[in-house]
Amino acid sequence: MDQAETGSGDRLTGPETWVDQHGDCLFRYALVRLRDETIAEEIVQETFLAALKSYSAFDGKSSERTWLTGILKHKIIDYFRRRSRQVTFDSLDGLPAESSDLFQQSGEWVDHFDFDRGPIDWGANPARIFENNQFQESLQRCIMHLPDRLSAVFTLREMEELSSDDVCKVLSISTTNLWVMLHRARAQLRKCIEYNWFRKMPG
């Protein structure tokens, strides 16, 4: 931690100490967004190298960790932009629709939520649960199960908190498809979390 406190200008130790100090943290940040260890490692390495190049611009006002995370954020968005030039994100082909087993299949109330399988009450204050490590692991597992295109859209909108317009630009997708993809990603995650967490909680 000492190096982080020394501020701008004179470095006491080489930048390779960043790897031990911040590597795991940046790696986890990248992994939950990119969902692939090799790609996450590459992007973290790119981040360190970019940081080294622009070290003179680091003013020491924020912590080294925050500064590096900021660079990583840009690298992740760049990665998605590059990726959208290789594969098309602007298609709904093969993407699962909201699962129909949550809805009544027949009868007067067809296509309304099924009484047994529809959404349940998550309680008055789920925010307390979000800090829980096990909950976060469940959530990460659910995100890992999203199809690639849905995950990309969801990650940029909800984790990187880009505006809807910017998500469309980065991934070269139409707004119509953006709404459909966000809906499907959220629907799948909602169901996954409800079934793997809230319906399993005792009481």
Partner 1 sequence: MFSDLIAKLKLQAIFWLARRLPVCREVTPWMSERLDQPLPLGREIKLRLHFLVCDFCRYYQNQLLALRNAVQTMSNSTQEPDPTDQPRLSADARERMKNALKDQDR
Closest distance to partner 1 from the beta carbon of 148 (Å): 17
Neighbouring CB atoms inside 10 A of 32's CB total 16
Neighbouring CB atoms inside 10 A of 173's CB total 21
Is residue 41 part of the contact set for partner 1 (CB under 8 A)?
A: yes
Is residue 194 part of the contact set for partner 1 (CB under 8 A)?
A: yes
Closest distance to partner 1 from the beta carbon of 178 (Å): 8
Residues 100-129 that bind partner 1 (CB under 8 A): 100, 103, 109-113, 118-122, 126-127, 129
Indicate the residue type of 197: W
Is residue 67 part of the contact set for partner 1 (CB under 8 A)?
A: no
Residues 6 or more apart whose CB falls under 8 angstroms from that of 33 comprise: 76, 155, 159, 160
What 3-state class would DSSP assign to 103? strand
Is residue 157 part of the contact set for partner 1 (CB under 8 A)?
A: yes
Size of the site for partner 1 (CB under 8 A): 65
Sign of the Cα torsion 100, 155, 164, 168 reads negative
Tokens of 185: 């990603």
CA distance linking residue 13 with residue 112, whole number of Å: 63
Name which of 81 and 186 has its Cβ closer to partner 1: 186
By CB under 8 A, which span of 2-10, 61-69, 77-85, 87-95 interacts with partner 1?
A: 61-69
Q: Which of 4, 19, 39, 95 binds partner 1 (CB under 8 A)?
A: 19
Tokens of 6: 């020394």
Is residue 29 part of the contact set for partner 1 (CB under 8 A)?
A: yes
Is residue 193 part of the contact set for partner 1 (CB under 8 A)?
A: yes
